[in-house]
Chain A
Amino acid sequence: MGLDSKDLLGIKELKKAEIEEILTTAEYMEEILKRPIKKAPTLRGITVANLFFEPSTRTLNSFILAEKRLSADSINFAAASSSVLKGETLLDTAKNIQAMEVDMMVVRHSSPGTPHFLADRLEASIINAGDGCHEHPTQALLDIMTIKKNFSTFDNLKIAIIGDIKHSRVARSLICGLNKMGAKITVCAPPTLLPLWLEPLGVEFEYNLEKTLPEKDILYILRIQKERQEESFLPSLREYIKDYSITYNKLKNFASKDVVIMHPGPINRGVEIESGIADSEYSLILHQVSSGVAIRMSVLYLLSKRRRDGHKD
């Protein structure tokens, strides 16, 4: 069947069947990654531009690796060394890149909707690699893939997302995706880090971590940015750590025995998570990272297949 759109803009735009197809394809991609020669010729002749207007290490490298594994040609465009600094508009930059016969663009930008804006105006396929606090669809897909591998079903699965929900594109995409898959989601944070309008997100909320922990299958922990203290969202990191950091003690006293921990990275050891937990048997963090390459290969493949099959919007 393939994907409906020429672009991957957000989880919101995907149907459940499309998410499932991306996951199934990603499982094939994982097989490629386990071969002695980790490369397939699938995207030979396809050119991908990675346009990152915001710094990124993990996501950018994961995309670069996925592109290489599938034999695509790729160019990296970092805003810091680009014409953006010379006053060129984003659209002009993207049109110039497209004029070099680029087929797909992986875009990260601080403004929500930037990939949507480009997708409407360019023929190239746009993949959203994070737009402000809006969406980060490939992160959600790799998280869903990791969960699927560990739990096989989403029915009755109880997940708590803990941390800075208000400023998190990861949370928005993950909530949207997990709702489509049928899981039950609770968000937990101090009130300043939760949106006042939670209804459109379709989640339960709880301020108190100790009340959140029991009976959850997964604790998904978000990174706390140090700036939140300066912006007066938090009195101090010390206070956040006391009330919201995931520690062995809290897990032992309140969480279910089989609970697993996920985190989109990069982690702040000793802040949102007690250091050892990230490396413990609770943690799926590195599984998430490996799923990331497979998911991105899957998305690149499905979008390029759609282009090759001659879909026209």
Chain B
Amino acid sequence: MGIKIKNVHLFDPLNGIDEIGNLFIEKNKVVKKVKSSSKQEIDGKGLHLFPGFVDVHSHFREPGDEDAETIETGSRAAVKGGYTTVCVMPNTKPPIDNEGVVRFVKEKSEKTGLCRIFPVGAVTKGREGKELSEMTHLYEAGCVAFSDDGNCVVKASLMRNALEYSKLMNVPIIDHPEDFILSNKGQMNEGAVSTELGFKGIPDISESTIVARDILLSHFTKGRLHLAHISTADAVKLIKDWKNDRITSEVTPHHLLLTDEDIGSFDSNKKMKPPLRTKHDIIVLQKAVKEGIINIVATDHAPHPDYKKEMEFAGAAFGVIGLETAFSVLYTELVKKDKLSLKRLIEVMSLEPSKAFKLPLGEIKEGATADFTLFDLKGSWTVNHDDFVSKSENSAFLGRKVEGIVEYCIVNGKIVYKRGEFLK
């Protein structure tokens, strides 16, 4: 079976391609010419073809919290948002801290058969921050990185050992940089807005002090470090000063676009960790993505059922979903407003995460992996409760009018999503 995509705007920053042309796929590779007799044709007129997006930070909640999301519904959300590869975080119940859970996640993903899913293993057993998990076992079973996400690795000596031990596999240790003593019981960014609303704040130093610690530990051990969901200007400054090729970092679309002022009248869909910061922070973060100080945009897709969000603010769960809206909100708010080039946006959503985590990447090049996403960049839509395919609706962008609609998503040479339809 082959696929012929004709007259499409081919766009591949890695291979320097930005032109109208045709792309042929046979089996799971990009080819010069389709040989097999059975073929599908896609009229690519008016569409852009990008390398499939790679998300290094999602929560699919399975096993354990299937009322929020499952591997199936999370995969649907991913391909609908143009993602061909997703790394799922280990804060499931039970957590991904043994090979059994890794196998479970992989089996479910294969059965679902939409996007590629790579589990992230826990740094410590039970994500408790006490003993290292069996990292080489987890790696051999299929984990691509390690994280206690949701929890910071509090003990500096343990973080040091994790950074050293993971050199065996040359994969990153992901830290959730939050000093829980500084952020204790905080509900939102500590600043003018929290002062007015009377909330205990999560100060930006709860992030930046751990970022500084982790960076220094990485330099000391020469271990690979990935810093999750950076939200503060001070953390950017530290990364800028200390970055080397062993240190990578990510930022989410909501931390790039929203501030604590958007919480308005106690909107719990603006409640997440780290919290939305200030105007100054988002300007610095946007610039950091542009200049390559931060090299990855990740969603931190964190689904929660309505009864955990439709609550008084302090009782509501932390986290928002993001896979279905990530590209469109960033394209609309940054690319269309000339704050970021389309090329850079595609890099931070595909090329860079793939490089940092050694994950498959679609390239417009003969013999390359056929993971692609086709967008109608002129198509506009409004982010609406009813339209999510994720099991949850806790989006921080509800009500926004955005541009960019995924028309096709191709994973491993197979069309898995055609606008509105999931094809297995």
Binding site for B on A (CB under 8 A): 89-91, 109-114, 116-117, 120, 131-135, 169, 172, 195-201
Contact = CB atoms under 8 A, between A and B. Distances in A.
A116 B313 CA distance: 10
B186 interface: no
A169 B195 contact: no
A169 B198 CA distance: 7
B259 to A, nearest CB: 14
B198 A132 contact: yes
Contacts of A133: 198-200
B116 to A, nearest CB: 37
Nearest to B199: A112
A91 B310 contact: yes
Contact of B266 (A110, A116, A169, A199): A116
B271 to A, nearest CB: 11
Contacts of A114: 312-313
Interface residues of B, number: 20
A199 B311 CA distance: 30
B267 to A, nearest CB: 9
B196 A113 contact: no
Contacts of B265: 113, 116, 120
Interface of B: 190-200, 265-266, 307, 310-315
Given A112-B266, A197-B191, A117 B312 contact: yes
A135 B199 CA distance: 11
B190 to A, nearest CB: 7
Contacts, number: 63
B32 to A, nearest CB: 60
A89 B195 CA distance: 27
B196 A111 contact: no
Contacts of B266: 112-113, 116-117
Contact of B195 (A109, A111, A113, A197): A197
A111 B314 contact: yes
Nearest to A117: B312
Given A112-B266, A197-B192, A200-B192, A134 B315 contact: no
Contacts of A109: 312
Contacts of B315: 90, 111
Given A197-B195, A200-B196, A91 B313 contact: no
B416 to A, nearest CB: 37
B310 A112 contact: no
B197 A113 contact: yes
Contacts of A198: 195
Contact of A131 (B191, B198, B200, B310): B198
Contacts of A89: 307, 310-311
B195 A201 contact: yes
Contacts of B195: 195-198, 200-201
Nearest to A119: B265
Contact of A110 (B196, B310, B314): B314
A135 B191 CA distance: 17
A107 to B, nearest CB: 10
